[in-house]
A = this chain, B = another copy of it.
Amino acid sequence: MSTSLRSEAARAATPVGNVFDANCSARHALELISGKWAMLILPALREGPMRNAGLLRKIGGISQKVLTETLRDLERNGLVIREDRRTMPLHVEYRLSALGRSLSDALVVLDRWAEQHFPALDAARERYDALIRRARVE
A76 and B17 within 8 A (CB): no
Partner pick for A20 among B29, B58, B122, CB 8 A cutoff: B58
Q: How many copies does the complex hold?
A: 2
The interface residues of chain B lying within 8 Å CB-to-CB of A34 are: 34-36, 39, 110
A67–B107 CA distance with the chains assembled, in angstroms: 24
Contacts of A60 in B (CB 8 A): 20-23, 27
A50 part of interface (Cβ distance < 8 Å): no
In Å, the complex CA distance between A110 and B114 comes to 15
Quick check: is A45 within 8 A (CB to CB) of the other chain? no
Contact A118 B75 (CB under 8 A): no
A-side residues, CB < 8 A to B, are 8, 11-36, 39-40, 44, 58-61, 75-79, 99, 102-103, 106-107, 109-125, 127-129
